[in-house]
Amino acid sequence: MNISLLSIKNIASKPLSTSLSLILLSLGVGLISLMLHIDKHLQAQMTNTIRGIDMVVGAKGSPLQLILSAVFQVDVPTGNIKLSEANTLQKNSLVEYGIPLSYGDTYQSFRIVGTTQEYPALYAMQLAKGDFWDMSLQVTLGASVAEKTGLNIGDTFLGSHGLSEGGHVHEDQYYTVTGIFKSSGTVIDQLILTGLESVWDIHGSHADYERDSVEHKSGHTESGEKIEATQTDEQNHVDEYTNENHGESEDDREITAMLIKFRSPMGMVLLPRMVNENTNMQASLPNYELLKLFSLMGIATTTLSMVAFVVILVSGISVFISLYLSLKERTYEMTLLRTYGASRRQLLGMIFQEGALIALTGFILGLMLSRVGLLVISMMLKSDYSYDFSESIMLKEEGYLLMITLCIGLMAALVPAIQVVKINLSKTLADA
């Protein structure tokens, strides 16, 4: 039996007030820790998603909406832009590469995105099985899509128009699955990728589509070459083919957005302004928009953090009241301890230990709470978004949180401790 054990026994002997303090404390700590983790993971995920994309070009509208729709695939697009305009921009010497995106259809609320193979390459996607799409109306599925829909290689499905469920179904234009990506934790897990021409074909005239599909079946047709050209040499070759074969001018072709990487920082200075001022398109910088978004999110997380801190403070007060009241009851016990040889310092140690012990226990419970919360959130979000929260390492900020919590525990013990120092042994004994 020693002072530390006595502290523990003292705490355990008043289960009600102890559990009240612990519940409050762990709630506060849990909330803050949860927020820290979510904030960090979101920022890391988002920053990771915009890696390799310096600028997004799309139709005029909200720049944030453009980023959200084209990069994160969560918002509706701002509109369409002319492929010819996007291609002109892509040929600019300041541009290293541009990846065209064309979307608007979904299958079971998974987006069907027409693009080039550079898009999956941007996120270093690897195939789990099968192959990349090769012809019009062939698709490669993200891992989550394959898992959720149960589609496998060779399966066919119908896309529906619009990004929400219940849109018009493009009847008898079946997509065929040619491959499935490995899971990567990126936005592509949630997407169905196909060639640009698929999207054009589906939304083009019915006749166009029929001719296309006949040509596809016959194998060595110009249409087949067209796709090859698209994949290797970007859009300039496509132009010729579309002009020749479909009798459709390039001017009529539209895409939804283009992801652009600059060759040099000079591009950052010149191109956005050029696009915004001289074309019908809008240029949006994901880095800049994300910063704006984070600062908006910051207000929300700061508010929540403040609420959580108040909860922690209240729990500090609860620890204080519990210590103070029990000490009033225990004045005689303290005197007893003193007469049996306990020094002031030992009693002080005991009081502070009780405060610190509650704080520490509350902190650990809070961390456990936040991990459970993270688990629940990650299970909930995994089905809807590509954001994975399952990693639960200890954050540096949680170290600070521990220190703050301990400080509050010790502060709560301060006044009771002063009372203990001031106990008049003789008087207490005589009054008893």
Beta bridge partners, 80, equal none
| 6 is a contact residue toward other proteins (CB under 8 A) | yes
Q: In this chain, which of 332, 376, 400, 407 binds other proteins, going by CB under 8 A?
A: 332
| 299 is a contact residue toward other proteins (CB under 8 A) | no
Output DSSP code: residue 342.
-
Sign of CA dihedral 357, 360, 362, 364: negative
| 323 is a contact residue toward other proteins (CB under 8 A) | no
- By C-beta, is 10 or 370 nearer to other proteins? 10
Give per-residue burial for 295-330: e unless 16+ CB within 10 Å, then b: eebeeebeebbeebbebbeebbebbbebbeebbeeb
- Contact range with other proteins by CB under 8 A, out of 3-11, 53-61, 198-206, 282-290: 3-11
- By C-beta, is 276 or 331 nearer to other proteins? 331
Residue with tokens 């999956």: 120
| 338 is a contact residue toward other proteins (CB under 8 A) | yes
| 279 is a contact residue toward other proteins (CB under 8 A) | no
- Contact range with other proteins by CB under 8 A, out of 190-198, 263-271, 329-337, 367-375: 329-337
CA distance 123 to 134: 19
Q: CB–CB of 137/215 below 8 Å?
A: no
- Tell me the DSSP string of 49-65: HTTT--EEEEESS-HHH
- Contact range with other proteins by CB under 8 A, out of 70-78, 137-145, 394-402, 422-430: 422-430
- Contact range with other proteins by CB under 8 A, out of 167-175, 267-275, 330-338, 413-421: 330-338
Per-residue contact flags (x/-) with other proteins for residues 8 to 47, judged by CB under 8 A: -xx-xx----------------------------------
CA distance 386 to 147: 13
- Cα 368 to the chain's mean position, in Å? 21
Q: Residues touching other proteins: how many (CB under 8 A)?
A: 27
Q: How far is the CB of 358 from other proteins (least distance, A)?
A: 15
| 1 is a contact residue toward other proteins (CB under 8 A) | yes
Sign of CA dihedral 76, 73, 383, 142: positive
Q: CB–CB of 420/347 below 8 Å?
A: yes
| Contact positions vs other proteins (CB under 8 A) | 1-3, 6, 9-10, 12-13, 330, 332-333, 336-346, 425-426, 429-430, 432
